[in-house]
Structure 1
């Protein structure tokens, strides 16, 4: 029986290692047939904007753009913190595929349904 996993990421270019490893774990989870959600908050909301991840390539890992693309292609879901996104003045029309801007209640709903959560 598949489980649920939330990978909460709070970093982007301010800590490319954490941003990258978060998506490595998310890809491993979705590849293991787990219902997997990446929750992007604080600086990480920038990852949900088309083109942003193209410049991030942490040594020893696949480029972040590739990790994000593989995650969504294999059925992963990305939630983007609404207040964090708005605070940074980002454009909702520039969201990547399968990224949805949500309030905290959607994250709580996913977690309350029995999901484990790991944070980066």
Structure 2
């Protein structure tokens, strides 16, 4: 099984990129790849409860549906620890299944052979 990190750095500031990141992540996990979505900078807001409820980029499924599908298929969502702290968010404000991690977790996953694509 291959490993893939989909790094998403956007949210409502670029809903097209944010949505496409989750489209690609869903494709990866559906094809049997061990897939991690890493949310950083503005992307951390996608893990905040209620934030993504109204994001629906034309031509794609609503991002909330994509996030749920990804998690249900076994995908992992990591949220950048310093990015969350900078934005004043806490773990209790995040959606179910989102885990706050530091850079070391991401580096370890990448060092184990994971490829990375960024949005």
2:91 match? 92
Task: Report how many aligned residue pairs link the two structures.
Answer: 119
Cα offset, 1:91, TM superposition: 2.7
Aligned-partner SS, 1:28: helix
1:71 match? 70
1:3 match? 2
Unaligned runs of 5+ in 2: none
Deviations 1:64-86 (A, max 9, x none): 00000000011000110000001
Alignment of 1:2-81 (within 5 A): 2-81=1-80
Q: TM-score, normalised by structure 1?
A: 0.97
- C-alpha root-mean-square deviation of aligned residues, in Å? 0.6
After the TM superposition, which parts of structure 1 deviate over 2 Å for at least 4 consecutive aligned residues?
A: none
Q: TM-score, normalised by structure 2?
A: 0.98
Unaligned runs of 5+ in 1: none
- CA–CA separation in structure 2 for the residues paired with 1:79 and 1:15: 20
- CA–CA separation in structure 2 for the residues paired with 1:49 and 1:66: 15
